[in-house]
Structure 1
Amino acid sequence: MSAITSPAPVDLTTWDPENEATWDSRLAWRTLWITTYSLLLGFATWYLVSAIAPRLTAIGFDLSTVQLYWLAAIPGLAGGLLRFGYMFLPPIVGTRRLIGWSSLLLALPMIGWTLAVRDTSTPYWVLLALAFSAGIGGGVFAGYMPSTSYFFPKRLQGTALGLQAGIGNFGIGLVQVLVPWVIGFGLFGTWFLDPQTTTAGANMWLHNGGLVLIPWAVLASILGFVFLKRVPVKANIREQMDIFRLKHTWIMTAIYMMTFGAYAGLAAQMGLIIVNVYGGFENAPDPLTYAWIGPAVGAAVRAASGPLCDRFGGAPFTLISGIGMTAGTILTLFFLTPTDVNEFWGFLAGMITIFVFAGFGNAGTFKQMPMIFPKRQAGGVVGFTSAVAAFGPFIVGMALSAVSPTVFFVVCAVWCVLCTGLTWWFYARPGAEAKS
């Protein structure tokens, strides 16, 4: 009679990434890839509304420009609010349950938008509620990143977090490329779902935007429950509140608001900016053709910069980011009151410059935080800074509905200068207080 083998425990009792004797690198990298896959879907869910909203009026929804800005902005508000909750979860529920249940929750807004766009009489408040639910995809970031940081030694934090956040950020470009493609035909096995008819009389399967993502979210949930484990890092909410007494928590939050706040906000609103600034010209550029480029490039830069941050430190990359984002913001300013449609190429160059340098800063800041703070506090600071920066899409959307793009970009340039100065003084200059 063969011996019965007990299943491997889902809770680890000994785990110290800084000690090779207790660190399982295979488990760490497996955790990174599964959580990154789920995070990719999270960002795709978070930006699903920004990909769908520009097409709603084309299929008969009676929505104003301001209402569309609000729809694209609400996921940012929700993502920021939900991150304040998610930042406390990693040491409370553990990685396995965090990823498993969160991945399943992503399916809710996917299903909701699949159903809502099929009926143009869907009330606006329902659309707003569904936009809020898409914020789940943004909220998970504040839990996933600290959770993953528990699995890696400090020497690999830049690489691990850079890869996770960078590849996760690709979800923005993914959904902005995927949606325009899948709305052009009926998905296999969904022949019974009739297409919507556009005002021009063409067929559009806009419901495919959410529908195509659902099975992948279910798969992420299964992978999380089956293959992930929990490390022995535990703390209740009160114990985690000590990060708010630290000066560098607030400085890093301001800086990450520059890098990721701008990245996330402009990624959500770029399509609508193109429509409102250049949409009145003959042969106006299609926003969905170009809106994905900047976010995708920025995500690639973030992923590629992680290993370099491990080698050279995060602060130099954050400093370069601030300088580059300032330059890109000023460049964009020259193309916000166009007299010719060909000025769009200058606008696009300025925007891509902002996204590229935001990618450097997003990688740099996430290398800095594990170096500035102890492991448990670093996880909390990563969660909190990401929560505040997640309001980027909401702040940018509200600002653009209240002031002109020119005024908005002037304010952005001033903020970039301020945050660049903070980076230099506290983290990058010779003799800096927290060289990182």
Structure 2
Amino acid sequence: MSESAAVNVKGSRIRTLIVTAFGFFMGISGIALFGPTAALLREPMELSATQVGWLVAMPALSGALIRVVFGAWADATGGKIPFLSLLGIMLGAMAILVFILFAYYPDDLGPHFYPVLLLLGAVIGFGVDTFSVGIPMNAYWSPMRKQGRALGVFAGFGNAGAGAFTLFVPFLVAALTLPGAYLFWIILVGIAFLLVAVFAQNAPYFQLHQRDGLPRDEAEAIAKKFGQEAFPRESLWPALFEAARAWRNWALVLTYFVSFGGFLALTAWLPTYWYDYHGMTATMAGSLAAAFGIWTGLVRVPGGAMADVLGGEPTNFIAFGLAFIGSVTLIFADGAGPALVGTMLIATGFGISNAAQFSLVPIYLPRAIGGAAGWIGGLGGFGGTAFPPIMGFFVDWQGEQGFANGFIVFAALSLMSIGIMILLRATRGGVAAAVAAADERAAKKGGTVPDTGPGESATQPENT
């Protein structure tokens, strides 16, 4: 029986990694859905700056709302069905958007279409959560010694999707018109869907246990022969509840709201900033915004290394210090050169912090790593929805000067985040007592400690 089941294991970890990384690349491209084209939509739809802010922010909203749920679904099923569901939802909403643009843009795309585009933006944002599904999907496939490299490839290549489309969409619009650019975009998403459907497979354990009906122990034993070392241990929900009890969890939610949410928000908002405030062409504005998004992603790698050497809190001191300096530079910048320096300082700070913050989760919440990662990654992403409308409000309130003064928000929040890190560093001595209290609560309930075991913790590495 075991030998027969082993023969029925399909796919490979390399093939799954390649196609899911491309799927995530296309899924997270939804963050750039309206950012590079907002200037072209603003006039026919008669939008205020605040309305533009909401429009570019909507794809980040749904991504934050559903991240925890889809991550838990991937843990339960292996990931392929949730991954395809997310890309399928994204495809359906993009098809409606393409139809509307071909039928009504530009002359008949009036203000009455604004709520429709908001809704479509939110639904298309489901693609962003291919990250929360692809991480466990690839982690279960890969041996422990190869997980860092595999997940680095998945997250590193995939995260570039938002920056890449911020860069390329203006060129596509110039070559194909606005509706044609979105048509080309949806074709690429469709290709990603097909590649995942055909070539990606759940890890061997899920094939054997769920598809073939083998008992858990037997399925694990066979899966180990294929190199699988990580297995789902128990539901993520107890870890979520345990993390919710810890104030340090919510402290990290706040700081990740600033750094990761700020990264998402500025990737979407900066095309409007460069185009309207500095008078750049659409292609140049997209290129400068793309530089911000791509650099923020690249800096995560040395950011994690810094946290290993210096510690998570000191690394975050430096990171949010850079973000503060960059924000102040943008407030007082008198030209595009200083403004570019300011945006890249913020990108460096946010990129480093995005990596360093997750190095603190095993220290502060060792009994609820997966749960804490779910809260921090999910709720932290709401910053991507909150900040663009705030930036737009400054423009509506103060006119052109509001583009600069809006960065007061990031300056203030960077200082707040430094204060939170100081508090966390100062109270490290209380972590052991908090962990002991969590163990005592679990023992009183007669269950196991709500820890993510070796297999499960491997599915919850540094978040996006």
Instruction: Tell me if both proteins adopt one fold, taking TM over 0.5 as the criterion.
Output: yes
**Cα contact 1:141–1:386 (8 A) shared by 2:** no
Rate the CA distance shift 1:286–1:9 in 2: closer, same or farther, 3 A.
closer
Matching residue's letter, 1:46: I
Cα offset, 1:64, TM superposition: 4.4
Residue 298 (structure 1) shift: 0.8
Moved more, 214-223 or 411-420: 214-223
**Deviation (angstroms), 1:55:** 2.7
Distance across 1 between alignment mates of 2:114 and 2:315: 43
Equivalent residue, structure 2, for 1:42: 27
Among 185, 190, 195, the alignment partner of 1:219 is 195
Call closer, same or farther: CA 1:153–1:229 in 2, change over 3 Å: closer
Q: Percent identity?
A: 22
Where does residue 386 of structure 2 map in the other structure? 395
User: Matched residue of 1:234: which SS?
Assistant: coil
CA shift at 1:252, angstroms? 1.4
Contact 1:249–1:381 (CA under 8 A) maintained in structure 2:
yes
Which AA in structure 2 matches 1:174? A
Cα distance change, pair 165–424 in 1 and its aligned pair in 2 (3 A): farther
* Change beyond 3 A, Cα 1:426–1:240: closer
Q: Which runs of 5+ in 1 are unaligned?
A: 11-25, 187-194, 198-203
Which residue of 334, 340, 347 maps to 2:339?
Answer: 347
> 2: distance between equivalents of 1:259 and 1:313?
18
What corresponds to 1:119 in structure 2? 103
CA distance in 2, matches of 1:347, 1:134: 31
Q: How does 1:27-426 map to 2 (within 5 A)?
A: 27=13, 34-56=19-41, 61-120=45-104, 121=108, 123-145=113-135, 164-185=154-175, 205-225=181-201, 230=206, 231-235=231-235, 237=237, 240-279=240-279, 286-306=284-304, 309=307, 313-335=311-333, 338=334, 343-374=335-366, 377-403=368-394, 404-426=402-424
Q: How many equivalent residue pairs?
A: 393
Q: Hey, what's the Cα distance between the residues in 2 that align with 1:38 and 1:303?
A: 21
Q: CA deviation at 1:115?
A: 2.3
CA offset at residue 37 of structure 1? Answer: 3.3
Q: 1:300, 1:390 → 2: CA distance?
A: 19
- For the residue of structure 2 that corresponds to 1:349, the secondary structure is helix
Would the aligned equivalents of 1:297 and 1:356 in 2 still touch at CA under 8 Å?
yes
Label 1:141 to 1:39 Cα distance change in 2 as closer, same or farther (>3 A).
same
What CA deviation, in whole Å up to 9, does each residue of 1:347-393 have, x standing for no partner?
11101110112111111123332454347x21222122111122222
Alpha-carbon spacing, 1:297–1:126, altered in 2? closer, same or farther (3 Å): same
Q: CA deviation at 1:316?
A: 4.0
Check 1:147–1:304 CA distance in 2 against 1; reply closer, same or farther (3 A cut). farther
Alignment deviations for residues 131-175 of structure 1 (CA, whole Å, 9 cap, x no partner): 111220233434444666667899988766655444332111111
CA distance, structure 2, for counterparts of residue 244 and residue 52 of structure 1: 39
Q: Distance in 1 between matches of 2:419 and 2:365?
A: 21
Stretches of structure 2 that go unaligned for 5 or more consecutive residues are: 207-230, 395-401, 433-464
**Is 2:137–2:203's contact at 8 Å kept on the other side of the alignment?**
no
Match of 1:50, SS state, is coil
The SS at the match of 2:34 is helix
Q: Which residue number corresponds to residue 201 of structure 1?
A: none
TM-score normalized with structure 1 length: 0.76
Take 2:52 and 2:365, find their aligned partners in 1: how far apart are those partners? 41
Encode CA deviations 1:307-364: one digit per residue, 9 max, x unaligned. 55456654443332112111111111112xx5xxxx0111111011101121111111
Question: What code does the residue aligned with 2:185 have?
Answer: G
Q: Does the CA-based 8 Å contact 2:78-2:202 persist in structure 1? A: no
1:235 offset after TM fit, Å?
0.7
Deviates more, 1:299-308 or 1:387-396: 299-308
Offset of 1:299 from its aligned partner? 0.8
Query: 2: CA distance between counterparts of 1:398 and 1:109?
Result: 23
Cα offset, 1:39, TM superposition: 2.3
TM-score (norm 2): 0.72
Larger helix proportion, structure 1 or 2? 2
Moved more, 49-58 or 249-258: 49-58
- Give the CA deviation at 1:126: 2.2
